Amino acid sequence: MVKIKEGYVMTASEKAEFDRVNALPRRQEGRIITISRKRKYPPRIYVFMHAELWRDRNRRPMVLFYAYPFLSRAMNREEIEYHHFNIRLCYHQYEDWDKLFYAEELEADELDKENPGTDVAFLEQLKSYRDNYPVGQPKAIPPIVKKEIAESGESAFMRELIANGHHYTVLQIGELLDKEQQGEKRLSILILCGNSIKAVRQGKRPI
């Protein structure tokens, strides 16, 4: 059934036209054709509803007069009902294959209920055209750039103490402590030097 926006109130003329079209007999069948447009940017894929009603000249303004339909399928009953109310050329356009697959899978499920086995063959055929009719821009993934963090003087000194502190004598550690206490007083360096002194007193460092 044609979808009407919830809460929308038709005018008298709209209601009269709706009733007139709604009273017309439904089509027994319909065809959908899929066309690729490559000549203009960006490339798109068009899915034309009730395509058998429309002559090639109707597609001329869309630069589709010379475009070749590469796939066709029957419409399901819901599509026929929904598009019964079309009074103009109706089509869906896609710039993304994944969106086209998603939409066509939903319609193919309905078509399969009416004619079992038709959905799988159609979807496989549709997906086989993906490489022949590219649409959309390839998504450029920026390279991952690792930010080089400049090592501070304190970090370098700490790394040196951790790696080679076991070679320091008590005298050398004492000199380092004096420099820190009289200079920058970096807490991390003071802690490392204090731990080194403690280790020497416990007999784990040379005197």
Are residues 43 and 108 both part of a single domain? yes
- Scan for tokens 């080194």, then name that residue: 196
Are residues 58 and 93 both part of a single domain? yes
Range of the domain at 166: 153-201
CA distance 196 to 205: 8
**Domain tally for the chain?**
2
Predicted TM-score (pTM) of this structure: 0.56
Predicted local confidence at residue 141, as pLDDT: 47
Predicted local confidence at residue 178, as pLDDT: 74
Total residues found in the chain within this entry: 207
CA distance 135 to 33: 17
Predicted local confidence at residue 12, as pLDDT: 92
Predicted local confidence at residue 31, as pLDDT: 87
CB hemisphere CA count around 118 (13 angstroms)? 17
**32 domain-assigned:** yes
**3 domain-assigned:** no
CA distance 77 to 206: 91
The list of the chain residues with pLDDT below 50 reads 141, 205-207
**2 domain-assigned:** no
Are residues 116 and 165 both part of a single domain? no
DSSP per residue, 134-170: --S-----PPP-PPPPPPPHHHHHHHHHHHHGGG--H
Are residues 31 and 103 both part of a single domain? yes
**163 domain-assigned:** yes
Are residues 91 and 191 both part of a single domain? no
